[in-house]
Structure 1
Amino acid sequence: MRRVFQHLTAAAVLSLTAMTAQADPAVWRFEWPETDFTNTSVENWVEVLSGGPPKDGIPALTDPAFIAAQDDTRLVGREPVITVVIEGEARAYPLRYLTWHEIVNDRFGDVPVAVTFCPLCNSAMVFDRRVGERELEFGVSGKLRNSDMIMYDRQTFSWWQQAIGQGIVGELNCVTLTHLPSWMESWDQFKAAHPDGVVMNEPGWPRSYGQNPYVGYDSLRRPFLYSGEEPPHGIPALMRVVRVGDRAWTMGRLAAEPEIREAGVVLTWEGEQASALDGAIIATSKPVGSIRVRDEDGNDLPHDVMFAFAFHAFFPDGTWMLPN
């Protein structure tokens, strides 16, 4: 299996046994002197590993530039984007950029948002950046827990678990961010639905935008830097699942049942997009389903399309919505 994890240094592929020696907050304190490690909900520090890059080695973006969707000449057909619509304003955040930056700090009018993508978990979530009266700005810590990105905020230097949107270390430990509705779809789908929408312009960083630094990742049997349990029910670790709250529906089931109405949720398979984690070029990678999640009145619901192992790791008591 080909793997070109360009973000990840040789140190990141040491054995997990060797890495456990670093799994001690006393070590992290030297790198993070402003983080309060005495306030934490992490019970087992062995779960926290370096992904390779240091703090801000993967540079989060702030206040990105946008152009009219009709004026973009870089994206093609099935390329995946994260779509966010707030108060009628539609924006597309291409994974060709998010794969290299992982967090975009943006703003819709008075609503500050963090658009996040963790490639190792396929988790794309959008959060309101406000906590009480405080507005946060997020960066990439370079740390992983259960293979999921640990974010940090630049105001308190607290650590945040991206897959659950919750503080896990520092002043804001156990605080939960508001998860906003968003969805992944193809560039063609976005343009068709939002002809007057805008798309994030290419950032000014020297990155191979459009290329996939995780070639073949979503075809592996086991995820990278993960030592936890396999998902139950024989579900492959890197099968995509649709998570709504603490429930998960597998993409295998959605492929067989393109519309599912359960637990007050309506899930529909509405076309295809290219996987961001398959071939060397994202635009020509294998197709995966574009999923929409709404309530029974047709309103979009916050959700995530993540790998099964990540759902099991962060929602061990969650409900698997299996076929009858």
Structure 2
Amino acid sequence: MNSTRLIALLAFATVILVLGLLSDSVASETDPSLPVAETPYVLGDPIEAYVEFMMSGGPPPDGIPAIDNPRFIRADEAGLRPEAMVIGFAHGGEAKAYPQSILVHHEIVNDVVGGLNVGVTYCPLTATAQGFERGETTFGVSGQLLNSNLVLFDRETESYFSQINATGLSGEHRGHTLAEVNLIWTTWERWHAAHPDTRVLSDRTGHLRNYDRDPYGSYTPLRGYYVEDRTMFPVMHRSGSQHQKEMVVGARTADASARFVLGDLESERIQMTENFLAVYDPTFHTGVIYERPDGVELDGLRVLPGGDYEFNGEIHPPRELPFEPLVSVDAFYFAWHAFYPDSEHPRVP
């Protein structure tokens, strides 16, 4: 083989190699796979039992339309009352607020925040606002309910997921736990004070809805379904130890789950169970839950005036304590108990 032909073949091989690498790079950037957690959350019941108990809430898949192309406005354009409930998410230097008055009609917003593709989900029946990484797919409302709670699906594989336990019930992702992000369920006044540059989901959604009317009642003032000591659909586990609509803050790991009554946590500021540590966050009137560290003495954790905490001589905001943070979920008591009847909780003396 002469040198000219050899050089030509080498050049051709190099081009093929580069194109292959570029192809792999493009494929990875547009990979439609759905991010899932490395370790699934603990479950209160077998998946088979969940699937058997799952029922129709009335609408067909996408009958409750998710917002797939959300528009946002400035805070001063939002016109929200201070006490209006919002779902907040801050990531990558960007903060957004999703009014409950809009989400009650759509339940899911497929969005991008700080460069992260997320599904912001809200179930009005269980008062749960939870965020999930969505990769290049989008989420929809399936129309099914489990323990009166939203069942969502991803449009790439059509796998169904329970919102509260974030776990696949059917399809390719059965048994997988979604990669979850922390959302904040709070008032507009509190969120705006903490994030003055926040953008707000516009009611120009492309759907014909009366966003001044909540079909379940009202949070301002609190009335209707949101305060009634009843559920609208059957649940797998029920307890009368708390008002059904008492707000709790829950968390789960691969091995255990816990729930803390928000009112009690607000009063005590610090609560613990065998595997969990919860502190009250007065900025948003919610709880922040950490894994309780093994072998670490927590007697040095103290409450400070103004909402911070001191641990071993160092001062920390509620969300920056030197422990392993968990995704904390605000929920109605009945809903958390329905999924996690054996949750750890502080014992009442």
Give the TM-score, by structure 1 length. Answer: 0.74
| AA aligned opposite 2:69 | D
How far 1:264 moved relative to its partner? Answer: 3.5
Deviates more, 1:145-154 or 1:201-210: 201-210
| AA aligned opposite 2:199 | V
Q: Deviations over 1:237-280 (max 9, x none)?
A: 221111122110113413533x2243343223446xxxxxxxxx
How far 1:78 moved relative to its partner? Answer: 0.6
Structure showing greater relative contact order (alpha-carbon pairs closer than 8 Å, 6 or more residues apart): 1
Q: Is the 8 A contact 1:260 1:268 kept in 2?
A: no
Structure 1 residues 255 and 261, CA gap change in structure 2 (3 angstroms): closer
User: What is the DSSP-based 3-state SS (H/G/I as helix, E as strand, rest coil) of the residue aligned with 1:142?
Assistant: strand
Give the TM-score, by structure 2 length. Answer: 0.69
User: What is the DSSP-based 3-state SS (H/G/I as helix, E as strand, rest coil) of the residue aligned with 1:185?
Assistant: strand
Equivalent residue number for residue 168 of structure 1 = 169
Structure 1 residues 174 and 316, CA gap change in structure 2 (3 angstroms): same
Q: Is the 8 A contact 1:253 1:323 kept in 2?
A: no
The match for 2:84 among 76, 79, 85 is 79
Equivalent residue number for residue 232 of structure 2 = 224
Equivalent residue number for residue 344 of structure 2 = 319
The match for 2:328 among 264, 286, 303 is 303
CA RMSD of superposed structures (Å):
2.1
How far 1:46 moved relative to its partner? Answer: 4.4
Within the alignment, does 1:248 sit opposite 2:243 as a pair?
no
Q: Is the 8 A contact 1:248 1:320 kept in 2?
A: yes
| AA aligned opposite 2:89 | V
Within the alignment, does 1:108 sit opposite 2:132 as a pair?
no
Equivalent residue number for residue 266 of structure 1 = 279
Structure 1 residues 46 and 198, CA gap change in structure 2 (3 angstroms): same
Q: How many residues align?
A: 260
The match for 2:286 among 277, 291, 312 is 291
Pairing 1:185-204 to 2, within 5 Å after superposition? 185-202=186-203, 203-204=205-206
| Distance in structure 2 (CA, Å) of the matches to 1:322 and 1:291 | 20
Superposition misfits of 4+ residues, deviation over 6 angstroms: none
Equivalent residue number for residue 211 of structure 1 = 213
Q: Deviations over 1:118-175 (max 9, x none)?
A: 1111111111113xxxx32100010101111110111011101011111111111011
| Distance in structure 2 (CA, Å) of the matches to 1:225 and 1:264 | 32
Deviates more, 1:301-310 or 1:135-144: 301-310
Segments of 5+ residues of structure 1 without an aligned counterpart are 1-39, 272-289
Within the alignment, does 1:98 sit opposite 2:103 as a pair?
yes
Pairing 1:12-31 to 2, within 5 Å after superposition? none
Deviates more, 1:86-95 or 1:64-73: 64-73
| AA aligned opposite 1:225 | F
Q: Is the 8 A contact 2:251 2:289 kept in 1?
A: no
Segments of 5+ residues of structure 2 without an aligned counterpart are 1-45, 218-223, 291-308, 310-315, 321-325
Q: Is the 8 A contact 2:92 2:114 kept in 1?
A: no
Equivalent residue number for residue 69 of structure 1 = 75
Equivalent residue number for residue 285 of structure 1 = none
| Distance in structure 1 (CA, Å) of the matches to 2:50 and 2:184 | 32
| Distance in structure 1 (CA, Å) of the matches to 2:191 and 2:148 | 29
| Distance in structure 2 (CA, Å) of the matches to 1:114 and 1:84 | 11
Pairing 1:51-70 to 2, within 5 Å after superposition? 51-70=57-76
How far 1:221 moved relative to its partner? Answer: 2.2
Equivalent residue number for residue 48 of structure 1 = 54
Q: Is the 8 A contact 2:278 2:287 kept in 1?
A: no
Q: Is the 8 A contact 2:65 2:141 kept in 1?
A: yes
Structure 1 residues 195 and 144, CA gap change in structure 2 (3 angstroms): same
Equivalent residue number for residue 179 of structure 1 = 180
How far 1:204 moved relative to its partner? Answer: 2.5
| AA aligned opposite 1:250 | V
The match for 2:245 among 215, 238, 244 is 238
| Distance in structure 1 (CA, Å) of the matches to 2:55 and 2:102 | 24
| AA aligned opposite 1:47 | F
| AA aligned opposite 1:97 | I
Q: Deviations over 1:51-76 (max 9, x none)?
A: 11111111011131111112223x11
User: What is the DSSP-based 3-state SS (H/G/I as helix, E as strand, rest coil) of the residue aligned with 1:105?
Assistant: strand
| Distance in structure 1 (CA, Å) of the matches to 2:346 and 2:212 | 34
Structure 1 residues 189 and 316, CA gap change in structure 2 (3 angstroms): same
How far 1:83 moved relative to its partner? Answer: 0.8
Structure 1 residues 153 and 44, CA gap change in structure 2 (3 angstroms): closer
